[in-house]
Amino acid sequence: MTWVTGPEGTEGSETVVFVRLAPGNNGTRLQLKHKGFGSEKSKTQHEKAWPEVLKNLDQVLTG
């Protein structure tokens, strides 16, 4: 999937999000890679944000 946001996100750069789902010990294992950032700042912001996004996703999916 591709991901584009405005000045506060990917700074207008089209980035690529790779998601891999595989069986895990207690459910499903999710592996995520996000590449193609236009700046180190944008990359760092996303590295910090993804764990919270995935935590929220887990809460929604597991109730």
Torsion sign, CA atoms 22, 48, 13, 58: positive
CB 30 within 8 A of CB 21: yes
**Chain centre to alpha carbon of residue 51:** 8
Task: Check pLDDT > 80 for residue 3.
Answer: no
Average pLDDT, rounded, for the chain: 89
Domain boundaries, the chain: 2-62
In Å, what is the CA distance from 63 to each residue of 43, 49, 56, 58, 59? 30, 21, 10, 8, 6
CB 54 within 8 A of CB 60: no
Q: Write out pLDDT tens, residues 8-49.
A: 778 888 899 999 999 999 889 999 999 999 999 999 999 999
Q: What's the predicted TM-score (pTM) here?
A: 0.78
